[in-house]
Amino acid sequence: MSGVSKSQVSRLCEEIDERVKGFLDRPIEGEWPYIWIDATYVKVRQNNRIVSVAIILAIGVNNDGRREVLGMDIGPSEAETFWTAFLRKLARRGLRGVKLVTSDAHEGIKASVGKVMNATWQRCRVHFMRNALAHAGKSGRRVVSAFIATAFAQDDAGAARTQWRKVADQLRPTIGKLAAFMDEAEADVLAYTAFPKDHWTKIYSTNPIERPNGEIKRRTNVVGIFPNEAAIFRLVGAILLEQNDEWAVQRGRYMTLETITPLSDTPIVGLPTVAT
């Protein structure tokens, strides 16, 4: 970028910082039945050292069926205190009406959701399967994957739980550790089945947040090592603002109004019929 002065670069950065701050601090309006939270890591210089820091991200679907980026923050790790502070900040900005939070099985996330939100926690099904297959050994992974998938193929919550237990009992004599793992994870992995079936494929995993995270990784890998955390906020915040704008101009809703409206805490008030 020849011909661009330091003062121009500084002014552009200030303008970006202002837009990003306004975006990440904006009030969160309405109800948000579903949110997905996840983290990715980047390297930054701190006190003459290169360290890894966590970028944590939340996206949600509101009671109009539309997606938005809700927030982002940076911290030294995914500790419970960091996640708790992040979720409380979202609540202060107005986040409400949350029914289900989907994430991986990080204990800090699970504990924070229990503390801050009166919501169900969904353990990402994709992450669970990776962990489960580690107990099966290379030769048994295909068979075990097919067995567990039969529980996911059921049409309602009761049938899914029944099949889950049946599969665990079938595996118990030969792969006891996997059966115990399934026993412990059942409620969290099948939490999505208590919600409308039309939403299952979108709420049982962290897939909806993978695209923004993938774009963050792609763009931050180009940088390599950030000079400071302000530079991380600038780049990642701009990426998220861009993604949010893209979702805003999409014509279709992420979830239909008909299927998501029943999850609202605010009842729809009908006007009385006027006699003619």
Question: What domains appear along the chain, each with residue ranges and CATH number?
Answer: 7-123+211-262 (3.30.420), 125-205 (no CATH)
Short-list 193, 56, 31, 57, CA closest to 118: 31
Contact assessment for residue 244 and residue 254, using Cβ atoms and an 8 Å cutoff = no
pTM across the whole model: 0.89
- Whether the pLDDT of residue 32 is over 80: the answer is yes
- Whether the pLDDT of residue 276 is over 80: the answer is no
pLDDT digit string (tens) for 170-224?
Answer: 999 999 999 999 999 999 999 999 999 999 999 999 999 998 999 999 999 999 9
pLDDT digit string (tens) for 68-106?
Answer: 999 999 988 888 899 999 999 999 999 999 999 999 988
Q: What's the pLDDT score for residue 264? A: 87
The per-residue pLDDT of the chain, averaged, comes to: 91
Q: What's the pLDDT score for residue 1? A: 52
Q: What's the pLDDT score for residue 267? A: 56
Q: How many residues does the chain have?
A: 276
Q: What's the pLDDT score for residue 24? A: 95
Q: Which amino acid is at 197?
A: K
Handedness of CA 236, 241, 244, 249 (dihedral sign): negative
- Whether the pLDDT of residue 269 is over 50: the answer is no
Contact assessment for residue 20 and residue 241, using Cβ atoms and an 8 Å cutoff = yes
- Whether the pLDDT of residue 271 is over 50: the answer is no
Q: First CA to last CA across the chain, in angstroms?
A: 72
- Whether the pLDDT of residue 62 is over 70: the answer is yes
pLDDT digit string (tens) for 234-244?
Answer: 999 999 999 99
Give the single-character DSSP code of 271: P
